[in-house]
Structure 1
Amino acid sequence: MPHPDPVIDWLLQTDPAIRWQVMRDLLDAPESEWAAERAKVETEGWGARLLACQDADGQWAGGAFFPADFTPLEWHQHGQPWTATCFSLSQLREFGLDPASDRARRTVAQVGAHSRWDEGGQPFWQGEVEECINGRTVADGAYFGVDVAPLVERLVGERQGDGGWNCERASGSACSSFATTLNVLEGLLEYERASGGTAASRGARRTGEEYLLARHLFRRLSTGGAADARFLDLLHPNRWRYDILRALDYFRAAARLTGARPDPRLAEAIGLLRAKRREDGTWPLDWALRGRVWFDVNEGPGKPSPWVTLRALRVLKWWDGVGA
């Protein structure tokens, strides 16, 4: 499907996981067209490749958070591995595997029956102890049709006094973190999209959003400086990591669900995103996480990234289209 915009044309030549989102979010194609392309995620490209890595019991790499053969030495020498069940499910959600497909339904049931968290042996869909992990579990569960209401209720009750979340709360942290807050917000948004949410979950999502907005998505309240220089470097897949594009894409998705207008406090991050665009109209991958993966979906840091470019273009289309 050639397109006169060379960047759009480049994106359309990549993978079904990219193409269907380009069709929906950038080209405003009818659902019948992008849904047909989305269905290919199960049988072609990255989605099919990741599904082919699945264990017979429905897990990936034999574990919930860590591969079965993981050792602390691997983390020290090569970085955190990203091949276990939780990260594979999140990537399938990102690819857009149809949750109504037989393969998705079978996977959800198998993971529920066989996967247990490394931390305490809890059944997978009951969640772990860290809010960061549980936020992603809620997002994956809600997307794939699991009843995650008990885990949502738990997360709502684990908010910090400043309105966000921190996975170090159980260790005594009294303030929120950007990364944990965004992981939980994405989960609450997916839950709201699937079920309508509850008054408590919607209220918690608003306080979490305010935590990020008050900081213009990357600044410290105390000094006004960047809380972490990495927040301005664009990454994909993010896994649990935070950057301004991931946050902007969350606010775009939330507005798409609720009809909310863009908050003016996003403007600075939008400007930084525009400044990162290359002369050819694409955005590069600024850096990549260390650690074992099933396969790469980018060509490497410094190279144009289809994923970063897709997300950046749809954020700017939203921002420019509604008028901030």
Structure 2
Amino acid sequence: MTPEAPIEWLLDSDPALRWQVERDVVHEPREVWEATRARVATEGWGKRLLAQQDTDGQWAGGAFFPADYDFDGPEAEGEGMPWTATTWTLNSLREWGLDPDVLRERRTAELLAENSRWEYEDLPYWSGEVDCCINAWTIANGGWLGADVTGLVEWFVEHRLPDGGWNCEWVEGSTRSSFHSTLNSLKGLLAYDAITGGSDATRDARHAGSEYLLQRHLWRRRSTGEQVGPWVNHFAYPFRWTYSALNAADHFRQAALLDGVQPDLRISDAIEMIRAARQSDGTWLQAGRQPGRVWFEIDAPAGEPSKWLTLIGTRVLAWWDSAHG
């Protein structure tokens, strides 16, 4: 392993991770990483998740929670929410680079429209509900699978808060944006824009939400300059819904590449936070992850080198350093 990136260790991975190493770290020709990406559907984690799909198009029988989830049971009391239902599984398959045609051939979008309802007020799956994060994932997954989520995109534009971002607790009366909700909203809109080309309205919403985080340098309170929370430098994969400087920086990397702009200098402190977490062998360590049911493990235990975090940290620093030295 080298201080820059432990290449062979990273390449010795499931196709879902390996193709991103080939593209973003090794910079292999497109035909090389696309061939590896195509294997996501037929090997390893991608194949295992596809095998868990129910005949009605869902996973674990539910939209956001499994059908057998007891809202008054031990999981709800602190064992951690499960990560096996439809939305979380679609998020993984999309982030791992599964060809959406695999799920389109299974009529997944149509089946979810027919059979899946949100646990909140029994609303139809592709219409979303009231939670910004859930709606963001629905936009990203819907755009990926070809579902009509235009109404939900308009919902995002209309529900942006005066300070520029979003907060899942808006329905409870909150008028201040949240780091977590804003980042997840931005990621959903970015995924939609990347697939569809976006619109002036979605780009304006993205830029306003981005400005909310940039004004806070991705990790500070605007009022005091203090660190906004202990989760800012708590790097754990999968990211799920939680904010971290690494999660945010990787989003800003993707947004800059799509929009054709240079990295904003206001994230320089966050970049140095990420750099400081890199170990002498070029890896990043897995922090404690959220507890809860999973289909299977996809990364290292807490305290051990994480291939996912090392991929993400390496490509973030490479993007930043190529522009700013």
Fold conserved between structures, TM > 0.5: yes
The aligned amino acid for 1:231 is V
The aligned amino acid for 2:240 is R
The match for 2:10 is: 11
1:259-312: CA deviations, max 9, x gaps?
Answer: 110000110010010110111111011121111111111121111111111111
Cα distance in structure 1, aligned partners of 2:46 and 2:105 = 11
Alpha-carbon distance, 1:6 to partner? 6.7
1:27-86: CA deviations, max 9, x gaps?
Answer: 222222111111111111111111112112111110001111101222214111111101
CA contact (8 A) 2:5 2:314 kept: no
In structure 2, the CA distance between the partners of 1:44 and 1:189, relative to structure 1 (3 Å rule), is same
Alpha-carbon distance, 1:154 to partner? 0.5
- For the pair 1:314 / 2:315, whether they are aligned, the reply is yes
- For the pair 1:186 / 2:187, whether they are aligned, the reply is yes
Cα distance in structure 2, aligned partners of 1:103 and 1:250 = 26
Q: Percent identity?
A: 51
Which moved further from structure 2: 180-189 or 123-132? 123-132
> Residue 134 of structure 1 aligns to a residue in which SS?
helix
Alpha-carbon distance, 1:113 to partner? 2.2
1:123-169: CA deviations, max 9, x gaps?
Answer: 21111111111011111112222232111111110011100000000
The match for 1:144 is: 145
Higher relative contact order (CA 8 A, sep 6+): 2
CA contact (8 A) 2:5 2:283 kept: no
- For the pair 1:271 / 2:272, whether they are aligned, the reply is yes
The aligned amino acid for 1:109 is E
RMSD value, Cα: 1.8
Cα distance in structure 1, aligned partners of 2:271 and 2:239 = 19
> Residue 269 of structure 1 aligns to a residue in which SS?
helix
In structure 2, the CA distance between the partners of 1:243 and 1:104, relative to structure 1 (3 Å rule), is farther
Which moved further from structure 2: 18-27 or 143-152? 143-152
Structure 1 segment 276-287 matched on structure 2, within 5 A = 276-287=277-288
CA contact (8 A) 2:284 2:309 kept: yes
Cα distance in structure 2, aligned partners of 1:28 and 1:258 = 21
Cα distance in structure 2, aligned partners of 1:124 and 1:55 = 16
Alpha-carbon distance, 1:102 to partner? 5.2
- For the pair 1:168 / 2:176, whether they are aligned, the reply is no
Which moved further from structure 2: 55-64 or 135-144? 135-144
The match for 2:154 is: 153
Q: Gaps (5+ residues) in structure 2? A: none
The aligned amino acid for 2:318 is K
In structure 2, the CA distance between the partners of 1:214 and 1:275, relative to structure 1 (3 Å rule), is same
The aligned amino acid for 1:64 is A
Q: Gaps (5+ residues) in structure 1? A: none
> Residue 100 of structure 1 aligns to a residue in which SS?
helix
In structure 2, the CA distance between the partners of 1:103 and 1:306, relative to structure 1 (3 Å rule), is farther
Cα distance in structure 2, aligned partners of 1:225 and 1:77 = 29
CA contact (8 A) 2:16 2:97 kept: yes
In structure 2, the CA distance between the partners of 1:104 and 1:164, relative to structure 1 (3 Å rule), is farther
> Residue 317 of structure 1 aligns to a residue in which SS?
helix
Cα distance in structure 1, aligned partners of 2:295 and 2:205 = 35
Count of matched residue pairs: 323
The match for 2:114 is: 113
Scaled by the length of structure 2, what TM-score is found?
A: 0.95
The match for 2:233 is: 232
Cα distance in structure 1, aligned partners of 2:318 and 2:157 = 32
CA contact (8 A) 2:46 2:93 kept: yes
Cα distance in structure 2, aligned partners of 1:147 and 1:36 = 29
CA contact (8 A) 2:64 2:86 kept: yes
The match for 1:58 is: 57
In structure 2, the CA distance between the partners of 1:257 and 1:6, relative to structure 1 (3 Å rule), is closer
- For the pair 1:23 / 2:22, whether they are aligned, the reply is yes
